[in-house]
Homo-oligomer: A and B are copies of this chain.
Amino acid sequence: MKNLAAKYGREMLVLRSSKKDNTVINIKGCAIGGEEIVVVAGPCAVENEEILKETAFKVRGSGAVILRAGAYKPRTSPYSFQGLGESGLKILAKIGEEMNMPVVTEVMDTEDIPLVAEYADILQVGARNMHNFALLRKLGRIDKPVVLKRGLSATIEEWLLAAEYILAGGNEKVILCERGIRTSEPWTRNTLDLSAVALVKELSHLPVLVDPSHATGIRNLVMPMARAAVAAGADGIMVEVHPNPDKALSDGEQSLTPRDFSLMMRDLEEIARACRRRLR
């Protein structure tokens, strides 16, 4: 395990052998990868300005520091809601500015990178695109942070090397995000792999977030898994919150209500303190 330098004939930028200290990424005054635990929250998709604003207002009130929402949605079926595209980006940027929260959103196509980078503070590579090397390579040439979700069944090695694609291009602002892997367990959407979080924190200097919403697909599991993620050493949590989950256009069954979210934040506060860290 782990002797990637020997295996690939080259020192890896992603590993602590190349850079000992934790990489801390600053986005509009918010630091990811430092001592503070960062919480990213928002609805699955930008649906309209009103819902996004309401969500942002509430999650910010409970302590979220970054706003998330998708304008381009990777959907299994071509007939499902695919996101609002550019108009979604505009709404997201506007609300982010109003709320004074940096925003993160997914980019799915190399051709969309300039557009998404214009509106978003952080660009996200979804699990389904973790092996999209053309996308990774081009994200290596921009000057914005990238959240890199672990692929649906990607090994830790592949995940680190996907990050290496971005670092090798010159962009050192990579934030890893564990969101569960595929297993033979059918009762949860995926199996959240917190060992991967602890192992990656040991091997790599990059910050690691955990997304318990996509990992479990079940609202009641989001809270305990967020707590467990912080206890395992994650640098932050990324969750879906919707003011009215039952009416969400996508992923409603895994979205927290703003009230659930506020309870979760209190729990995380305690766990962070027990780990000698604190919520930002």
Contact = CB atoms under 8 A, between A and B. Distances in A.
A156 interface: yes
A188 interface: yes
Nearest to A198: B224
Interface of A: 1-2, 8-10, 74-80, 108-112, 128-129, 131-135, 137, 151-158, 161, 164-165, 168, 181-188, 191-199, 202, 215-216, 218, 220-221, 224-225, 227-233, 267, 270-271, 273-275
12 contacts: A76-B157, A77-B164, A108-B132, A108-B134, A129-B131, A155-B186, A185-B193, A194-B228, A195-B221, A198-B224, A225-B232, A274-B274
A232 B215 CA distance: 14
Contacts of A183: 181-184, 191, 193
A184 B224 CA distance: 24
Contacts of A8: 77, 79-80
A189 to B, nearest CB: 9
B128 A132 contact: yes
Contacts of A194: 192, 194, 224-225, 228
Contacts of A274: 267, 270-271, 273-274
A161 B134 CA distance: 23
Given A110-B111, A137-B78, A187 B199 contact: yes
Contacts of A185: 155-156, 181, 193, 196
A191 B191 contact: yes
A88 to B, nearest CB: 15
Given A78-B137, A161-B77, A228-B231, A199 B218 contact: yes
Contacts of A76: 157-158, 161
Contacts of A221: 195, 198-199
